[in-house]
Amino acid sequence: MDSNTMNSKRLVFVPVALCVILLDQLGKLHATRTLEAGQRSALVGDVLALAHLPAANGAFGIFRDFSPQAQLIGFALLSIVSIVVIVLFYRGLAPREHGNAAALGAILGGIASNAIDRLRYGSGIDFLHLGPIEAEAMPDFNLADVAIVLGVVALIVELLATEMAARASERPRN
């Protein structure tokens, strides 16, 4: 097997991770330079708004009751463990598992970009909002969050498709 075949999953994994980091950081930079903290501005009518919202807590309010220093340590440890797990899964992929490599790259990029925020700003930065700018029903988020969710969904879909194909191949044919 030549080195191009062996490294072909890297041709997807690394660029996807880097694109997620770049796009998310550029979005956050734009939001922090054009809006005051806590402010939102409509982008697409009442559908999508640009926001500048520091997000001290993680998903589901994780580390909510901890001091800022303890939150930073907790998020750093969580990010490191997550990145190690992603790299281990990536290393276990076959060379041509491009879809899974892309999904893992998206998750890695999202985690890394959110970790960069914590180190730079002491909190996450959400810069997107669904719905009218004054509506609080939908949570604010960033592209890193979207990449993580889409990456996890893609991995679940791939797992289910693989499992269904394996079960179908085991069924006796009539």
- Convert the pLDDT of each residue in 131-162 to its tens digit: 888 888 888 899 999 999 999 999 999 999 88
Q: Tell me the pLDDT of the chain averaged across its residues.
A: 88
pLDDT band, residue 60 (cuts 50/70/90): low
Task: Express as a percent the part of the chain with pLDDT over 70.
Answer: 91
| Backbone φ and ψ of 50, nearest 5° | -85, 140
Indicate the SS3 state at residue 152. helix
Number of H helices, E strands in the chain: 5, 4
Share of the chain above pLDDT 90, in %: 57
The pTM for the full model equals 0.86
Say how far apart CA 92 and CA 24 lie, in whole Å: 27
**Which positions are catalytic?**
126, 145
88-92, 122-126, 168-172: lowest mean pLDDT where? 168-172
For the chain, the domains span: 3-170
Q: What is the pLDDT of residue 55?
A: 78
